[in-house]
Amino acid sequence: AQKVTQAQTEISVVEKEDVTLDCVYETRDTTYYLFWYKQPPSGELVFLIRRNSFDEQNEISGRYSWNFQKSTSSFNFTITASQVVDSAVYFCALSGSNTGNQFYFGTGTSLTVIP
């Protein structure tokens, strides 16, 4: 069974603070893919990152960074020096090797950045 847990339902931070969004996943597949998506109020899901299960290298993209740890089945997302434009709902998702392009989404974390 595939499952993604985002325990943080809502987070509020003051602008310029760092914030980490947690994601824990469950899968029996040896090959799988993890994703983060951003959903602004407009509703469209915006792709942020994909990580393959065989690549545990962490990644940094500007103010965004991702920490993938297979040992703890976690794929956490950190925003450094948050900005008001970062306010959105963030979803972590999992796709197995044998389930085509079916994504299993977490329940999302609503991030509010206060100016």
Partner 1 sequence: KAGVTQTPRYLIKTRGQQVTLSCSPISGHRSVSWYQQTPGQGLQFLFEYFSETQRNKGNFPGRFSGRQFSNSRSEMNVSTLELGDSALYLCASSDTTRDSYRQGFFGPGTRLTVL
CA 54: distance to chain centroid? 18
Residue 110 is a binding residue for partner 1 (CB under 8 A): no
Based on the shown chain and the rule CB under 8 A, indicate whether residue 109 belongs to the binding site for partner 1: no
State which of residues 12, 52, 58, 72 lies at the interface with partner 1 (CB under 8 A).
52
Q: Is the dihedral of CA 90, 95, 101, 105 positive or negative?
A: negative
Q: Is 41 a residue that touches partner 1 (CB under 8 A)? A: no
The whole-angstrom distance between residue 2's C-alpha and the CA centroid of its chain comes to 16
> Within 10 A of 67 (CB to CB), how many other CB atoms are there?
16
Instruction: Decide whether 68 or 82 has the Cβ nearer to partner 1.
Output: 68
**Of these, 5, 29, 64, 103, which contacts partner 1 (CB under 8 A)?**
103
Residue 76 CB, nearest distance to partner 1 (Å)? 19
- CA–CA gap between residue 107 and residue 90 (Å, rounded): 9
Interface with partner 1 includes 61 (CB under 8 A)?
A: no
